[in-house]
Amino acid sequence: MSRNFPSRVDVAIVGSGPTGAAYARVLSELRPDLDLVTFEVGPLLADPPGLHVKNIVDAEERAAAQRRSEGPGALGAEDRRLRRAGTYLLPEGFQQPGEDGIPSLAMSSNVGGMGAHWTAACPRPGDSEVIPFIDDLDELLDEAGRLLGVSSHAFDDAPFADEVRARLASIFDDSRPTGRKVQPMPLAVQTHDDGRVTWSGSDVVYGEATRTNPRHTLVPEALVRQLRVHDGTVTGVVVRDLVDGSDHEVEAGQVVVAADGVRTPQLLWASGIRPRALGRYLNDQSQVIFAARLRDVSPRDAAQGEEPGKPAIAWQSGVSWVPFTDAEPFHGQVMQLDASPVPLAADDVVEPGSIVGLGWFCAKELQETDRLEFDDDRTDSYGMPAIRVHYTLTDGDRATLDGAREMVKRAALALGDPLDAEPITLPAGASLHYQGTVRMGPVDDGTSVCDPRSRVWGVDALRVAGNGVIPTSTACNPTLTSVALAVAGARDLATTYPKKEGSQP
């Protein structure tokens, strides 16, 4: 941590979320000779930097950390749009006349980015979710799982987990290939001998290799306003210290922009880097939620989870996964209600773990016209180009949503007794899974922003990272994939960056 702004570094990383942290980690491991700096627009929430807020034990401290993540333009309670704690909504421009828009488009500003607030679900993509031109994707996903601390066994001893999965399997598994059947959700969580559960944030991705690297500096409350470009090469960044308002020029041999799916393309636009695909092919995942009371589970079994020290979240029923397939283009997750990020029932439910929440995410038909538009004449609360969202559901998208509603009802009936007559379709943006806005592609044909190693087409010394890089239509949670792509980019950067004089071969 520092408030010192270096005059020159080898690599400047913009954003401290999981993908920015992955670049810092891989470069710290493979190229400890490089001088690295990470600039984060938001404040430090806790120690270690990037800690997941669920790991803050004190409820008041946790709430305060969430409030500090809500940026300078956070809206008050009068704004009735759905918003998760720790995030803030795009204040305007989220819906254009005659379009569906993304009313709940949300961001967070803090060390660790959305990795301080996420649900830690890390499923692997399947079928058409898989990026076809990344030959080593499986190995990259394995490495992303290592960096995130992913496990499929975090809640193996949850008393209701096997029963929940057996009931789901009875309606899903017969038509599914091996690997895409109902299974435990891979989660970036760690369970401890005393029963505690800790959730991975960017702190886990950073790891000791980054924290002990004397050549890496993390600067919070530092807004990168512009990338300096000379003769087609990025040469550094202009950073505003949000503590005292001063501006600083930092030269860099390479720059990695890992802000998020909204602010990464915004920064490129503000810097005059405007490839045709920038901000386009915006992909949100429509989300349907439902709740059910498990049928035929005994209060005595539920009480077994009340042991001292056992976690309140997801202990009884675990977290189960119904994977995406092309035949059923949804991604389902089923968890104990208090693990759900969206309240689904009253607080006075009986039998811990007997009420489960079901969330079905839908893949979207990709359209170039679904896009972020940036305004050169108006600015947002950070002084960056204001954003307008153009976003429309196709007839196919609406049919997929209808299918998800029917499928989640079938799943709820298999589990027990639904709490309501019909599922709830959440407003667009509630998934927080915005993708495609700086998408990668195999060739520079105008439909992508970067190449398979995240290098921006036509601009030297610049890479992008984050969910926005994902080029396929997905329904699964994207963080594992975006970290995998960041690993690929960081490895390539470590290999291609010139050796420094006196460094080890």
What pLDDT band is residue 36 in, cutting at 50, 70 and 90? very high
Domain-located, residue 297: yes
User: Nearest Cα to 364, choosing from 444, 264, 289, 283?
Assistant: 283
Contact assessment for residue 422 and residue 405, using Cβ atoms and an 8 Å cutoff: yes
**Residue pLDDT, tens place only, 81-108:** 888 899 999 999 999 999 999 999 999 9
Q: What tokens appear for 481 in the block?
A: 């994939």
Domain-located, residue 2: no
Could you tell me the CA-to-CA distances from 36 to 94, 109, 155, 281, 458 in Å, in that order? 35, 21, 37, 31, 24
Q: Could you confirm whether 433 is annotated as catalytic?
A: yes
Q: For residues 189 and 468, give the distance between their C-alpha atoms in angstroms, rounded to a whole number.
A: 24
**How large is the average pLDDT for residues 467-477?**
98
Q: What is the pLDDT of residue 306?
A: 40
Domain-located, residue 504: no
Please tell me the least confidently modeled range out of 270-284, 296-310, 314-328: 296-310
What pLDDT band is residue 300 in, cutting at 50, 70 and 90? very low
Residue 73 is which amino acid? G
Residue in the block written with tokens 């460094």: 503
Domain encompassing residue 271: 8-496
CATH code of the domain containing 328:
3.50.50.60
Structure letter (DSSP) for residue 498 = P
Q: What is the pLDDT of residue 141?
A: 98
Domain-located, residue 174: yes
- Give one word for 101, left, alpha or beta, with left for phi > 0 and alpha for psi -120 to 50: left
Q: In terms of residues, how long is the chain?
A: 505
Q: What DSSP assignment string belongs to 455-492?
A: BBTT-BTEEE-SGGG--S---S--HHHHHHHHHHHHHH
Q: What tokens appear for 476 in the block?
A: 């699964």
Domain-located, residue 503: no
Q: What tokens appear for 487 in the block?
A: 């690993």
Q: For residues 113 and 46, give the distance between their C-alpha atoms in angstroms, rounded to a whole number.
A: 13
Q: For residues 316 and 260, give the distance between their C-alpha atoms in angstroms, rounded to a whole number.
A: 34
Domain-located, residue 1: no
Coil, helix or strand at residue 13: strand
Domain-located, residue 108: yes
Contact assessment for residue 360 and residue 242, using Cβ atoms and an 8 Å cutoff: no
Contact assessment for residue 45 and residue 69, using Cβ atoms and an 8 Å cutoff: yes
Q: What tokens appear for 381 in the block?
A: 């609360």
Q: Which of 52, 216, 331, 433 is catalytic?
A: 433
**Residue pLDDT, tens place only, 50-71:** 999 999 999 999 999 999 999 9
What pLDDT band is residue 9 in, cutting at 50, 70 and 90? very high
Q: Is the pTM of this model over 0.75?
A: yes
Could you tell me the CA-to-CA distances from 432 to 116, 257, 315, 387 in Å, in that order? 13, 19, 25, 17
The count of domains in the chain is 1
**Residue pLDDT, tens place only, 115-142:** 999 999 999 999 999 999 999 999 999 9
Torsion of CA 53, 317, 188, 135, to 10 degrees: -140
Mark 229-250 as b/e (b = at least 16 C-beta within 10 Å).
beeeebbbbbbbebeeeeebeb
Contact assessment for residue 384 and residue 270, using Cβ atoms and an 8 Å cutoff: yes
Contact assessment for residue 90 and residue 105, using Cβ atoms and an 8 Å cutoff: yes
Domain-located, residue 3: no
User: Nearest Cα to 219, choosing from 246, 254, 253?
Assistant: 246
142: Cβ contacts below 8 Å, ≥ 6 apart:
none
- Give one word for 164, left, alpha or beta, with left for phi > 0 and alpha for psi -120 to 50: alpha
1: Cβ contacts below 8 Å, ≥ 6 apart:
44, 49, 217, 218, 219, 220
